[in-house]
Structure 1
């Protein structure tokens, strides 16, 4: 199977997803989070660092569940337009999105 190169938009979405998961994980270890979600720690590390920009839906659903994130919140963060928005790392922006 040949995998097509990722588009710049896919790479950007992967980076936003990784940043969201890192923020939501907080001080919780990658190991414990991954084990609780039923994924390998290396998979979670790759997602959080943006090395896996298009992870499988069940993987994201499991990690989001463990972190207490709704899939709606994850989708809103990952698909939001970057230009003209606050930076991904903005605590106020993330808190507002996760609170809704």
Structure 2
């Protein structure tokens, strides 16, 4: 199976979601959060840095639950950034 290249919007969305998760993690260690979410620290690192632009829904849901962050809130904030970029012509 051939995977199509990601669009600029998909890459940007992944970076925004990663940044939001990193912000929500706060002072908690990457190891603590990743173990609680059932993923490896390296996976969390890649998501937070935007290197995994399209993480699996279940992975994001597990991290969000660990951080007491609603998926609605996460998606809303990630989409709001995109809407702001579109309103200013940056998107």
| Fold shared by both chains (TM-score > 0.5) | yes
| 1:3 Cα deviation from its structure 2 partner | 1.3
Question: Can you give the 5+ residue segments of structure 1 that lack an aligned partner in the other structure?
Answer: 86-100
Equivalent residue, structure 1, for 2:69: 69
Equivalent residue, structure 1, for 2:45: 45
Alignment of 1:1-16 (within 5 A): 1-16=1-16
Could you list the per-position Cα deviations for residues 9-39 of structure 1 after superposition, in whole angstroms to 9, with x for gaps in the alignment? Answer: 0011011001101100001011110000001
Question: Can you give the 5+ residue segments of structure 2 that lack an aligned partner in the other structure?
Answer: none
Alignment of 1:1-100 (within 5 A): 1-80=1-80, 81-83=83-85, 84=87
For normalisation by structure 1, the TM-score amounts to 0.80
When the two structures are aligned, how many residues end up with a matched partner? Answer: 85
For normalisation by structure 2, the TM-score amounts to 0.88
Alpha carbon RMSD of aligned pairs, Å? 1.2
Displaced runs of 4 or more, over 6 A: none
